């Protein structure tokens, strides 16, 4: 199929960005690295975090592929513009997923902190009741 753009004809074909089998080792490496960081800082919840981790990892793969395509000498001005736009959208997707992951973790850690504080307060009250000491009023 030929497309007309700025009075020039360009061949528009499928732009190959990524395939699962080729990128699976890199995808796994990125996901393991992110999960390792999440576990290190605490509050990792696989059921909630893995969706965003997957999105960040796959978008990173696509971003790297787009970057390699732009660095190649075969990129025309038409394909360069299309891929550059896609690259910006991928970066936005990565940023958004990272922000959602951070907010989700913050909320969970805050709730966990409040729960821990409430539990500690209940334990302190229970100990005080068992000790049968009078609190000064």
Q: Where are the domains of the chain?
A: 23-131
Per residue in 3-59, pLDDT (tens digit) is 444 434 344 444 344 445 788 888 999 999 999 988 888 778 888 899 999 999 999
Q: At what angle do helices 46-71 and 77-131 cross, to 10 degrees?
A: 160
H helices of the chain, in order, are: 20-41, 46-71, 77-131
Distance separating alpha carbons of residues 122 and 137, to the nearest angstrom: 20
Is the Cα dihedral 65, 66, 67, 73 positive or negative?
positive
Confidence band (pLDDT; 50, 70, 90) for 128? low
Distance separating alpha carbons of residues 20 and 65, to the nearest angstrom: 13
Mean pLDDT over all residues of the chain?
A: 77
Per residue in 44-99, pLDDT (tens digit) is 888 889 999 999 999 999 998 898 888 888 878 888 889 999 999 999 999 999 99
Give CA separation, 133 vs 2, 13, 25, 127, in Å. 88, 82, 62, 10
- Considering the entire predicted model, what is its pTM? 0.66
CA diameter of the chain: 91
Task: Determine the pLDDT at residue 16.
Answer: 42
Which neighbouring-strand residues pair with 8?
A: 5
């Amino acid at each position: 199929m030929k497309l007309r753009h700025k009075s020039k004809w360009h061949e528009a074909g499928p732009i190959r960005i990524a395939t699962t089998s080729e990128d699976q080792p890199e995808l796994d490496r990125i996901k393991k690295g992110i999960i390792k960081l999440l576990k290190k800082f605490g509050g990792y919840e696989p059921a909630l975090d893995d969706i965003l981790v997957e999105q960040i990892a796959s978008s990173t793969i696509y971003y790297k592929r787009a970057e390699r395509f732009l660095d190649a000498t075969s990129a025309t001005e038409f394909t360069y513009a299309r891929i550059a736009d896609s690259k910006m959208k991928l970066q936005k997707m990565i940023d958004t997923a990272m922000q959602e992951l951070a907010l989700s973790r913050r909320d969970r850690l805050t709730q966990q902190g409040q729960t821990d504080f409430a539990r500690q307060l209940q334990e302190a009250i229970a100990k005080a009741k068992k000790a049968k000491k009078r609190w000064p009023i």
